[in-house]
Structure 1
Amino acid sequence: MPEWFEIVLRSILFIAVLFLMTKILGSKQISQLSFFEYISGITIGSVAAEVITGVDGNIIHGLIVLVLFCGITYGVDVLSLKSKKFRDFAEGKSVVFIKDGKIMEDSLRKEHYTIDDLNSLLRKKNVFNAADVEFAVLEPNGDLSVFLKKENRPLIPKDLNLKVANEKVPQTVIMDGKILDDPLAEANKTRQWLKTELDKLGVALDNVFMAQVDSYGQLTVDVYDDQLKLPTSQQKPLLMSMIKKSQSDLESFALQTDSDEAKKMYLKNAKKLQEAIDMLEPYLKS
């Protein structure tokens, strides 16, 4: 058997074995590595590379080593799930770097981090001034979790006592010019509705790269032709404008009439429409 062909066969075999092992160990092995998983991953990769390229090596021995490391890593993961103490030993513990706005120099030294390293981690969180941070903790995977001081946190609607509409995950109803029926049904829409919306935008189905329906039932479209400018949907702003006009007309009628009974009716319904406007504004805002 030619040497190059044997290397090809070994490569295919070990790719399949490594893929199977990764599936067994789970996605954690390729996302957030603990100390042990880091060592295990390097060892498994090194053994696989050596057996693939070392034609004179014993392939069975290489497979035994891979299976052994896979079993040990899997066992460590199982024990980590059952024991907090073992998990802290194998995966490490979170370390506080900033507490009550004060940098913990001893923690930095213990983890061999410099102030430049800390500033770099903060910048990755879009924080450029350590004085803005109330609390920061280094996670076992090396990521830094940051909690800003109250005056430096961005405002949210809850801070202003504003009501906002609940949103659902947008449904992708067209991809690569093809209609996806399951997401379309999930959005409670039909193919006829989709065709009508595309006709309003003047877009052919074949020219649609991706289209999504948001939680309010509005269609957004991205086309293959980047030079083509699509009109913005005006349905919600127009509806809000009509309701506000109706409310304004009722108040105007109340001022124009000489009948106390009619005036009272107009004002009563104008108040109801204003309540409806306040309720619908988060949904119909442009």
Structure 2
Amino acid sequence: MGVLPLQSRDSEGRLYIVGTGPGNLLQMTPRAFAALDEADCVIGNGFYLDLVRPMLAGKEVIRSSMGREVDRAEKALALARDRVVAMVSGGDAGVYGMASIVLEVAERSATAVPIEVIPGITAAVSAAARLGSPLSGDYVTMSLSDLLTPWEEIERRLDLAFRMRVPVVLYNPRSRGRPHNLDTAIEIASRHLPGETPVGVVRNAYREGEERLITTLGEFNDHITFVDMHSIVFVGGGETRIWRNETDARGIITPRGYHRKYVY
């Protein structure tokens, strides 16, 4: 296949799937701002709409709830036949976000609506910055939600990921409906990594109520209630370490490998 051009914008209607980043407007890309500004209709999960509320004045806003993703995709595509529509998705729309389901629905319906996916800062990257540099090289992201993926498959993937001894980022780590999935993930990590392996948690990254926790794999179970669905959990790899000062942990570092090549 040759190089594909960007979607034509000659038609009157179009759909933007906008990654809004971690939730602070300062973390949104200029392209995401421009798409929301251009749209006359914005649709999305109510939680993520609230995070971009200052951008919604004068626009039709259609709020949706968790579990209504297919309906939301169908509604957005129908509106975009003759309107400029923005579908908001927290973080990056292509990472555990709305991009895939919207594109799947568009594919199956053979729609001619022009669609543009606009990237955003995903939770792993934004939360990592709050911890220091835990993801300097190769790493794995995993979601502990078994709503769309069978738990047996998640366990298999977790085992393979921790065997690699690279940092692992856990999305959707702990909810009221599945409080024990994180316990199992930590137990699997402990099979392959020592107890002193750094573990970091960031809750509400770049949002009101932001908190962070730095601990170790061996001590993490003492802090597990700190984790909720607004949290991201980082389990370090074989070379990850905690950067400490005299009184506290300053952050988490996973060396990129410069120490093997340079003297510093």
What is the TM-score when the length of structure 2 is the normalising length? 0.23
Larger helix fraction of residues: 1
Q: Which has the higher contact order (CA 8 A, sep 6+)?
A: 2
Larger Rg: 1
Which TM-score applies when normalising by structure 1? 0.21
